[in-house]
């Protein structure tokens, strides 16, 4: 860019601290197309986030309060001392690891691998089914799986047919049930990412490994996985962030119950902010959830950087 | 930065601006439209309130030429409905002009400055004299001003299936004298009529405030005076025997399997399930529930028309714990039509409320909605008195009915009670432990304004 070079030369010739009018103009011109975007970003993204951060340090309520006041770190201190919050953190981690890291990710890879070998009709049919689950709105999927797991639901009907004991899965194993629901709903995304990644592995590499006598497991471990490492990282990160924020699915299926045995952080946050009207506290919890997401992302980014 | 980057960002900004402004423009209000927000039953087939609101809206449009009523039905469980309207009322862009409020929430919303006092209008409205004093007080703020016009009240008692009672050898004019009497009947049914659920008492967080009012408070208010709030001391009460006994009653019902399967009892859909399936399919013998239940089975607008219900179901008052006078207990609630503080058409809103509560429309609503009338002229109307079987029974309970402590913090206290019930019902805590947890939660919720009472 010649403008930038000229500007730099001019700046060097001058005393520091007083940029030439020409340089200011170039700079302004260069940034002017960005102005609307910047304004909108400030207004609609930074604004609300800043407002949220502010609210988290106040005792704002949805109803029943005349005016809110600044309470410093009280909401955060309250959270760490609140057994219900700690319970929600643990359940969030369980839910995320079970449904995202283990479930969606592994199943997605397995499906992608299997579909490469499958005949075209099988591939199309499986793909269509999995993607159907994915495009359903979260809340609809929630109600569908509610009727699947419910005491008089499809799963129990199947079990009874097989002469196995039926039970209300949403009551006895709520975390497992919602995790399964999330796997069911979200696997398509991993499958698509891995299908694309697998398609990019050069045929020669696989073939030469085969010629060298490498079996399926060895090929997977030494060839496939290392070659799609970046995709794994990206997929894990996106899946995890998406799973951390799952709300409608759990709300429709269990409302965080029974007791609070499936109350993950988003459900806990909703309960505090909207059912108990404690907007300030709920927002503080939301910020902590953001922190959990950031921690996961940092770990994945680190994994992606190594050995590449 | 690559030279194309600003271009992409600009394009994104233009697209974003387009979508965002498109979102905003729809909610703009014009001077001739009045927006009314109300709750729509979670059972989509029940359209009693929708039909009635539509009827009044048409009438209003006819009598006020050029004016339009925009209906905002909100299909949600009660707790989600409260949250939704509170959020809507916070901003002038989204605030409806008329809103349907549960009286237990009115004081909380008044304190938050979400509602508009109506005293100036009420002073010049002749019909206001027709309203029962207790009903007039239902939407009164702690500042002495009135913030809503009630459209009915409700009472609570036991509904029981006479056919199942006959099979169990129980009388058709059943009148339990104390809690033990209720439990005994349930145990008899469990023994003699297998396959039906003997007794439903709403519990836990799933049913929301309904569980707290129909379930817990019906028990608690029968255990002695001021077990929840002491109006003399102006303090919330902790550590009472009554609170623990009420939790113990629930524990008994669900431990002995006299109630619905625990997983159903704690499900968010239990209310709909009881009214739409368990009672009409005669799978439930006794239900501790509200006076309005009949509206679900009406021929028009009811979710599940069940003409035989009036012959099949009997009603009995819910007894006090040991049968102490007056021997029965009921709680009264009800909803009001209010005007949000941020309404842009408060004048038009008031006119619409007057239309809602004209004698003719109030009667219509009480008949359609199986409501207990709050207007004297409606209560005296023969059409009302013969509208629904059992209406006489439930109207008779008004005299002994008690109100919830209508204080700003009540909704959160109710939510803490729901948690205590859930903990006991699910077996997570003993009644004593759950009561102790409630005491701790209560103290923090009301800023320490509590008094301990054995």
- How many residues are listed for chain A in this entry? 308
For B39-50, write each residue's pLDDT tens digit: 998 888 888 899
Q: What is the arithmetic mean of pLDDT over A218-247?
A: 90
Number of H helices, E strands in chain A: 19, 0
Instruction: Express each pLDDT in B244-298 by its tens digit.
Output: 999 999 999 999 999 999 988 988 788 889 999 999 999 999 999 999 888 788 7
* Contact at CB, B411 and A277, closer than 8 angstroms: yes
User: B286: closest CA among B206, B400, B216, B188?
Assistant: B188
Residues in Cβ contact with A165 at an 8 Å cutoff, skipping those fewer than 6 apart: A159
Whether A127 shows a pLDDT value over 60: the answer reads yes
| Residue B385 confidence (pLDDT) | 87
Q: How far apart are CA B253 and CA B259, in angstroms?
A: 6
Q: How far apart are the CA of A90 and the nearest CA of chain B, in angstroms?
A: 18
pLDDT in tens, A163-203: 888 888 888 899 999 999 999 998 999 999 999 999 888 88
pLDDT at B301: 67
Please indicate whether, in this complex, the C-beta atoms of B426 and A66 are within 8 angstroms of each other.
Answer: no
Strand, helix or coil for residue A19: coil
A61 touching B (Cβ < 8 Å): yes
CB pair distance less than 8 Å for B10 and A37: yes
Span A154-169, average pLDDT: 88
* Beta bridge partner(s), residue B331: B402
| pLDDT value of position A307 | 55
Residue B33 pairs in a beta bridge with B68
pLDDT mean over A250-258: 88
Confidence band for A6, pLDDT divided at 50, 70 and 90: very low
DSSP per-residue codes, A156-191: HHHHHHTT-----HHHHSHHHHHHHHHHHHHHHHHH
Chain A: nearest CA to B409, how far in angstroms? Answer: 6
Mutate to test the interface with B, among A1, A40, A59, A64 (most CBs of B within 10 A): A64
Residue A123 pLDDT exceeds 50: yes
Quick one: average pLDDT of A144-148?
A: 91
Confidence of residue B5 (pLDDT cuts 50, 70, 90): very low
pLDDT at A117: 83
Highest mean pLDDT among A147-151, A220-224, B24-28, B419-423: B419-423
User: CB–CB of B17 and A274 under 8 A?
Assistant: no
Q: Kindly state the average pLDDT of the residues B146-161.
A: 94
Mean pLDDT of chain B: 88
The average pLDDT across B192-203 equals 96
3-state secondary structure chain B: CCCHHHHHHHHHHHHHHHHHHHHHHCCCCCCCEEEEEEEECCCCCCCHHHHHHHHHHHHHHHHCCCCEEEEEEEECCHHHHHHHHHHHHCCCCCCCCEEEEEHHHHHHHHHCCCECCCHHHHHCCHHHHHECHHHHHHCECCCCCECCEECCECCEEEEEEHHHHHHCCCCCCCCCCCHHHHHHHHHHHHHHCCCCEEEECCCCCCCCHHHHHHHHHHHHCCCCCCCCEECCCCEEEECCHHHHHHHHHHHHHHHCCCCCCHHHHCCCCHHHHHHHHHCCCCCEEEEEEEHHHHHHHCCCCCCCCCCCHHHHEEEECEECCCCCCCCEEEECCCEEEECECCCCCHHHHHHHHHHHCCHHHHHHHHHHCCCECCEHHHHCCHHHHCCCCCHHHHHHHHHHEECCCCCCCHHHHHHHHHHHHHHHHCCCCCHHHHHHHHHHHHHHHCCCCEEECC
Select from B109, B111, B426 the Cβ nearest to the Cβ of A259.
B426
CB contact under 8 A, A259 and B14: no
CB contact under 8 A, A259 and B423: yes
The whole-number pLDDT of residue A79 equals 92
Chain A partners of B108 at a C-beta cutoff of 8 Å? 63-64, 277
- Using the 8-state DSSP alphabet, how is residue A70 labeled? B
**pLDDT of the residue at B13:** 41
Q: Determine contact: A267 vs chain B, CB below 8 A.
A: no
What does the block give as tokens for B77?
A: 């469980």
Inter-chain residue contact B9 with A1, CB threshold 8 Å: no
3-state secondary structure of A95: helix
Residue B372 pLDDT more than 60?
Answer: yes
| B60-99 confidence digits (pLDDT tens) | 999 999 999 999 999 988 878 998 999 999 999 999 999 9
Q: pLDDT at residue B213 above 90?
A: yes
- For A58, the 3-state DSSP assignment is strand
Name the phi and psi angles at B87, rounded to 5: -65, -40
pLDDT for B27: 43
- pLDDT at position A18 is 61
Using a pLDDT cut of 90, give the percent of chain B over it: 61
Q: Are B154 and B332 in contact (CB under 8 A)?
A: yes
pLDDT for position A168: 83
Q: Return d(Cα B389, Cα B162) in angstroms, integer.
A: 14
Residue A92 has pLDDT above 90, yes or no: yes
Q: Kindly state the helix (H) or strand (E) to which residue A81 belongs, with its residue range.
A: helix A74-81
ipTM above 0.85, yes or no: no
- Among A62, A66, A257, select the one facing B205 at the smallest CB separation: A257
Name the range with the highest mean pLDDT among A5-19, A59-73, A284-298: A284-298
The average pLDDT across A37-66 equals: 87
């Amino acid at each position: 860019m010649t403008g930038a070079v000229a500007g730099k030369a001019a700046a060097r010739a001058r005393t520091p601290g007083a940029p030439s009018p020409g340089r200011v103009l170039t700079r302004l011109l260069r940034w002017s197309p960005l102005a609307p975007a910047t304004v909108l970003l400030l207004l609609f993204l930074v604004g609300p986030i800043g407002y949220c951060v502010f609210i988290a340090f106040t005792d704002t309520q949805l109803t029943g309060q005349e005016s809110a006041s600044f309470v410093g770190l009280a909401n955060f201190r309250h959270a760490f001392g609140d057994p219900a919050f700690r319970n929600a953190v643990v359940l969030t981690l369980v839910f995320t690891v079970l449904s995202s890291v283990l479930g969606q990710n592994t199943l997605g890879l397995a499906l992608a691998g299997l579909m490469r070998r499958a005949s075209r009709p099988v591939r199309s049919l499986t793909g269509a089914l999995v993607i159907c689950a994915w495009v359903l709105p979260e809340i609809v999927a929630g109600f569908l799986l509610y009727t699947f797991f419910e005491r008089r639901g499809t799963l129990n009907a199947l079990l009874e047919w097989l002469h196995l004991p039926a039970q209300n899965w949403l009551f006895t194993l709520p975390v497992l049930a919602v995790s399964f629901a999330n796997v069911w709903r979200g696997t398509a995304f991993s499958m698509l990412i891995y299908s694309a990644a697998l398609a990019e592995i050069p045929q020669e590499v696989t073939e030469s490994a085969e010629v060298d006598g490498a079996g399926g497991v060895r090929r997977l471990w030494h060839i496939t996985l290392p070659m799609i490492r970046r995709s794994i990282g990206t997929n894990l990160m996106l899946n995890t962030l998406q799973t951390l924020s799952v709300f409608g699915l759990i709300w429709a299926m269990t409302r965080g119950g029974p007791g609070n045995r499936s109350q993950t952080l988003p459900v806990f946050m909703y309960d505090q902010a909207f059912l108990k009207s404690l907007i300030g506290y709920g927002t503080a919890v939301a910020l902590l959830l953001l922190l959990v997401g950031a921690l996961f992302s940092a770990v994945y980014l680190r994994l992606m950087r190594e050995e590449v | 930065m690559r030279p194309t980057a600003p271009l992409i960002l600009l394009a994104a900004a233009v697209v974003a601006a387009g979508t965002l402004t498109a979102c905003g423009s729809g909610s703009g209000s014009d001077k001739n439209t009045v927006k009314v927000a109300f709750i729509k039953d979670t059972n989509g087939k029940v359209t009693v309130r929708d039909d009635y609101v539509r009827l009044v809206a048409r009438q209003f449009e006819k009598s006020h030429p050029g004016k339009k009523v925009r209906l905002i039905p909100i299909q949600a469980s009660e707790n989600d409905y409260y949250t939704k309207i509170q959020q809507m009322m916070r901003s002038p862009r989204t605030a409806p002009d008329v809103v349907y409020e549960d009286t237990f929430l009115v004081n909380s919303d008044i304190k938050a400055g979400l509602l508009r006092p109506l005293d100036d209008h009420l002073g010049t409205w002749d019909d206001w004299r027709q309203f029962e004093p207790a009903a007039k007080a239902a939407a009164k703020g702690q500042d002495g001003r009135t913030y809503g016009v009630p459209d009915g009240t409700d009472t609570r008692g036991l509904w029981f299936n006479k056919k199942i009672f006959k099979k169990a050898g129980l009388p058709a004019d059943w009148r339990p004298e104390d809690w033990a009497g209720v439990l005994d009947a349930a145990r008899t049914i469990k023994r003699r009529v297998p396959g039906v659920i003997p007794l439903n008492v709403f519990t836990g967080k799933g049913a929301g405030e309904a569980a707290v009012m129909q379930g817990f408070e019906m028990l608690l208010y029968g255990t002695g005076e001021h077990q929840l709030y002491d109006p003399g001391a102006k303090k919330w009460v902790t550590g009472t025997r009554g609170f623990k006994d009420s939790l113990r009653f629930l524990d008994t019902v669900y431990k002995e399997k006299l109630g619905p399967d625990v997983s159903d009892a704690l499900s968010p859909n239990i209310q709909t399930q009881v009214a739409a399936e368990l009672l009409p399919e005669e799978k439930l013998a006794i239900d501790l529930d509200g006076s309005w239940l009949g509206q679900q089975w009406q021929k028009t607008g009811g979710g599940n028309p069940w003409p035989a219900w009036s012959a099949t179901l009997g009603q009995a008052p819910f007894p006090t714990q040991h049968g102490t006078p007056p021997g029965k207990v009921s709680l009264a609630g009800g909803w009001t039509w209010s005007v949000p503080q941020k309404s842009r058409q408060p004048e038009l809103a008031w006119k619409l409320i007057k239309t809602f509560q004209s004698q003719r429309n109030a009667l219509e609503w009480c008949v359609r909605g199986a409501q207990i009338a709050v207007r004297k002229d409606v209560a005296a109307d023969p059409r009302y008195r013969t509208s629904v079987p059992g209406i006489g029974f439930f109207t008779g309970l008004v005299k002994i009915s008690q109100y919830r402590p209508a204080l700003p913090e009540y909704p959160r206290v109710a939510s803490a009670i729901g948690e205590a019930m859930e903990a006991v019902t699910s077996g997570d805590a003993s009644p004593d432990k759950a009561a102790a947890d409630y005491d701790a939660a209560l103290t923090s919720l009301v800023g320490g304004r509590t008094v301990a009472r054995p």
